[in-house]
Amino acid sequence: MEKRQDSNRPISESQEEYGRGIAGGLLFSFPLLYTMEVWWSGFIARPFELILVILFTFLLLLGYNRYAGMHPEANWRSVVIDSFEEIGIGFLLAFGILLMLGRIDFKTMSLIEIVGKVVVEAMVVSIGVSIGTSQLGMSPEYEVNNGDKKKEIKQLEEERQHSLFGLLILGICGSIVVGGNVAPTEEILMIGIEAKPIQTLVMALVSLALCLLIIFYSDFRGGIKEGSKVAARILLLHSSLSYLIALGTSALVLSFFGRFDNTSFSVNVSQTIALGVLSSLGASAGSLLIR
Amino acid sequence: MESGNSTYVDKKNALEWVVAVTGLVLVLIIIGYLTYKTITVSEGPPQLFLEYFHEPGHYEPNRYHIIVHNKGAETAESIIVEMALEKGGEALEVAQLDVAFCPKESYREGWVSFLTNPSEADTIKARVVSYNKP
C-alpha cells in the first residue's frame, strides 16, 4: 500500500505501517543478521567507512522513497522525514536482533565494535523496512475519486520508475537486498578463485539471460507482443542496464566486505561476476517486485 | 511532481514525528561518534596484551582464565596464545588458546587447562604467539 499521510491520520494506521516495515525489514535482512562475516565486517571496518555506509544507505532510502516507496506526488520534505523514520527503525531493529542473538555484549565489546555491527546490519534492515512499509499489504490506492486524477498519478508513478534514475535506484536496492545476503560469505571468494574462464563466461551469460527473461515477462510483455521495435530496443537497454547495475553493486559490496583485499584483478572480476548472478536477479526482478 | 492540484496531503501524527526525530537523532549521534573516532584514532597494528589468573573449575582444578586485550586501532584475527608452566627453566607443560577475533579496543576471554598442577611450577608464562590482519 502506498504511504498516505493526512492531517487526521490515526495512530493505528501508523502502527500498521510500522508493523509492515518491521516485517519487511526482517524478511529481507534475517540472513544477514545471522551471518558471522557481517558481524566481523562491522568491527573490521574503519569509522569513516561506516560513515560512508550510513550516507549511502540514506541516499538509497531517499531514492527509493522518491521513486517507488511513496505517493508519486509526495514532496521532498516528506521523503526525507520518512527516510529518517526508516533508518531509525533499521538501527533499533538491528540492535535489538543482535542483542537477542548474543552478538552484543556490553562487558567485553567496545562501543566502536557495537556501533560497527549495528551500522552494517542496519543498512539492509532499513531498506527492508522501506520496502515492507510500501509493498507489504494491500495494492496501491490513492485518496482521489476522480478517475482522470488517478490515471494521472499512476502515469506519473510509471514515468518516474521507468526514468533512468528511477531504474538505477530500484536496481541498486534490489541488488543489495538479494545479492547482499551472499556477498559477505567465503563462498563467493571460493567460487571466484576456483572458477574456470568458461564457467565465469557462462555465469555472465546466465545473468544477462535472467535480466532479459525477467524484464521481458514482467515489464515489456505487452509491447513485445505488439511487435514494437522500440520496445525490443528498450528491453535490451533495460536488461543491459540492470546487469551493469548488478555488477557495479556487487563490486561495491564485495569491496566493502574486504573481498578485494590482496587478491588479483582476475579473481576480483570472477567474484563480481559470481555475485552478479544473484545481484542481476535482484536488479531486474527485485526492482519490479519492490515497486 | 509537486503540482498545484496535487492530492497529496503532507501531515504526520505525533507518533510519526517521534519516530522520525528519533531516527534523525540516532543518525546524528552515530555519525558524530564515528567522526570523532575517525579524527582521534591513530592508524596502527593491533596492540595485544594478556591478563591471566588461576581459576580452578569443578572438573578442571588446573584451569587458567586468560583475557586478551586489544588496545590498538585494528582488529586482530586468529590469535594464538601460549601459556607455559616452567620449573628450573624447563617447560613442564605448554597449553594453547586460539581466539578467532579481538576487535580494536575490545577484549576476549578463554580458558586453558593443564594436566600438571601449577603449584609444581616455579614460573608461569603467557604470550601471544601470532595473529593475522583480517
Question: Which string of DSSP letters, residue by residue, matches A42-102?
Answer: HHHS-HHHHHHHHHHHHHHHHHHIIIIIB-TT--HHHHHHHHHHHHHHHHHHHHHHHHHTT
The answer as to whether A158 is a domain residue is no
Round to whole Å and give the CA distance between A54 and A184: 18
Greatest Cα pair distance, chain B, in angstroms, is 93
Query: How does pLDDT run across A90-135, given as a tens digit for each residue?
Result: 999 999 999 999 999 999 999 999 999 999 999 889 999 998 888 7
**Given A134, A152, A170, which residue is the final one in a domain?**
A152
ipTM of the complex: 0.83
% of residues, chain B, pLDDT over 70: 92
From chain B, pick out residues whose CB is under 8 angstroms from the CB of A119.
30, 34
The answer as to whether A164 is a domain residue is no
A148 and A194 part of one domain: no
The answer as to whether A5 is a domain residue is no
Q: Name the residue among A75, A84, A258 with its Cβ closest to that of B23.
A: A84
pLDDT, position B14: 85
pLDDT, position A222: 45
- pTM confidence score: 0.83
Q: How far apart are the first and last CA of chain A?
A: 10
A17 and A145 part of one domain: yes
The answer as to whether A284 is a domain residue is yes
Query: How does pLDDT run across A34-89, given as a tens digit for each residue?
Result: 999 999 999 999 999 999 999 999 999 998 888 877 766 778 888 999 999 999 99
A128 and A240 part of one domain: no
A230 and A143 part of one domain: no
Round to whole Å and give the CA distance between A123 and B55: 42
Q: Name the residue among A44, A115, A143 with its Cβ closest to that of B30.
A: A115
**Contact status of A72 with chain B (Cβ, < 8 Å):** yes
% of residues, chain B, pLDDT over 90: 75
**Given A126, A152, A178, which residue is the final one in a domain?**
A152
> What residue of A is the nearest CA neighbor of B31?
A51
A19 and A117 part of one domain: yes
A208 and A137 part of one domain: no
Mutate to test the interface with A, among B68, B106, B109 (most CBs of A within 10 A): B106
The answer as to whether A4 is a domain residue is no
A68 and A144 part of one domain: yes
The domain in which residue A217 lies consists of 186-289
pLDDT, position A278: 94
Q: Are B103 and A43 in contact (CB under 8 A)?
A: yes
The answer as to whether A174 is a domain residue is no
Joined together, the cell numbers standing for residue A89 give 527503525
Q: CB distance B13–A9 less than 8 Å?
A: yes
A224 and A101 part of one domain: no
> What residue of B is the nearest CA neighbor of A87?
B23
- Torsions phi, psi of A75, nearest 5? -90, 170
**Quick one: CA dihedral A203, A206, A212, A217, positive or negative?**
negative
Domain count, chain A: 2
**Does the structure show a pLDDT above 60 at A282?**
yes
Which residue would you say has higher pLDDT here, A274 or A177? Answer: A274
**Does the structure show a pLDDT above 70 at A229?**
no
Round to whole Å and give the CA distance between A251 and A17: 33
**Does the structure show a pLDDT above 80 at A231?**
no
Q: Are B82 and B124 in contact (CB under 8 A)?
A: no
Query: How does pLDDT run across B109-125, given as a tens digit for each residue?
Result: 999 999 999 999 999 99
Mean pLDDT on B87-110 = 93
Q: How would residue B3 be classed by pLDDT, with cut points 50, 70 and 90?
A: very low
Which residue would you say has higher pLDDT here, A142 or A136? Answer: A136
Size of interface A-B (CB pairs under 8 A): 135
